[in-house]
Structure 1
């Protein structure tokens, strides 16, 4: 065997091993309860309280209700008082758990210190950073975004700054107790370069990298930190699109995503979104970024939103 043959055989073997490992890790997602089981007391063992931002509706509300159903008391945080009161009432009546309502706009610069004061005496075992906004419901080019200067500030404050600040507030207590869970809600749009959602997807890339970095830093401290990156979920932010095989209800998505907590520092939160992410990452960027694909995406979203 000459050197060239050896190189080709080695390269072929490496490719087979690489894709074999990818298939193996993907297959584990099909049997999540077998590979990554959670005990019934998993969440309550982390601490007495869960904190969920952006919890007045949609995914945040679903996380708050589900964690209360797991036996945790819940702090729900949003700027919409009436909606938060309704969520608190629903949690209290259906689960019997305690609920603390904090009505604040977390994107305001001076609010984080006040939030820290309100949370300082609580044994917080779970933090869900769900707060986030889209620059526009209908995908559009960056410069076509309405009120672009204001939108840039809102997206960065809401999707990036608040998440980092909430981790700063709650992570020290988890480190001291040697346990805790932080779930940072990213987006499936962060898995590829996503034109027409450029600002939003870029902000969610930060969420993923921040979460993965924190997990590497604090995993040895007994803290589980994960970015969860859904694609379509029927929520007010997405115009309450009709649920189907790809677009999940907030309740279904949250229930499945919590089962993936031990599946890595980033997951898509459901098997259908995992498959969709794999497919998107397999499409050549030249095709994905073509003008016809961008036009088709815009029309698809308009149709699904009924616009």
Structure 2
């Protein structure tokens, strides 16, 4: 995937999300998480494009290839089969229209409901996402609602057309911890009641540990480790995952000193001969920069992109 002047910002990214499954995508800012999501939504920047590979939604007769899809296909997919929730909900809502009008309008356009039916369904959805007095909220404008209420409104809009996949890109980042916990609980409940697949994008490993069955660790535009969440966080195999764990606050809220990962992540599109984490890695060797590092299958649904794993496999037991 490239953005402007042929710079390859995301490469060799491959993963699947099963029906009703929750998958976390974690990494530092600039690692390519949001760009990956926008590719799946057909919302890349005007200078961006998918240079190769496939993005397939669904399976069997309902499967749709999204790379190179026509606008008519995207119109049926976005806010239909795929819903999305982003970090700053106020920026995705029209400040001059009530939130109820915006939800009802989508129901009328996407689901073909008449005005009264769209109004009633909107109120039901507001109630489902935990908004108190949903009939009153229907007539309120975005500036009259708190950040947590706006995020619930955006979730109601995202699930209004019964999507198969919900992409939540840093959806809880700007919220306080109490509201964050409520939104995560809401997403879990919606997964169960709607059989939603969830791609939860975050930099917070505590959120992933609480909410996701599998985790994908992204760095420098590549997935460097993946697998069941408990296994990856309990026994990380890639040095970057270990570094993230070292600076995380999972179960360590009393820590006073803020730890950091030394160095800076690579710039988008920066060409590097080998492992993109090597300049910051405490165990890097000459082999790490000798050439491209392939993904190693560790078994049990786990993978890592590390030279040390390849070398370990090559040594006879």
Please classify the TM superposition score into its range, dividing by the shorter chain length: 0.3 to 0.5
Larger RCO of the pair (alpha carbons < 8 Å, separation 6+): 2
Q: TM-score, normalised by structure 1?
A: 0.35
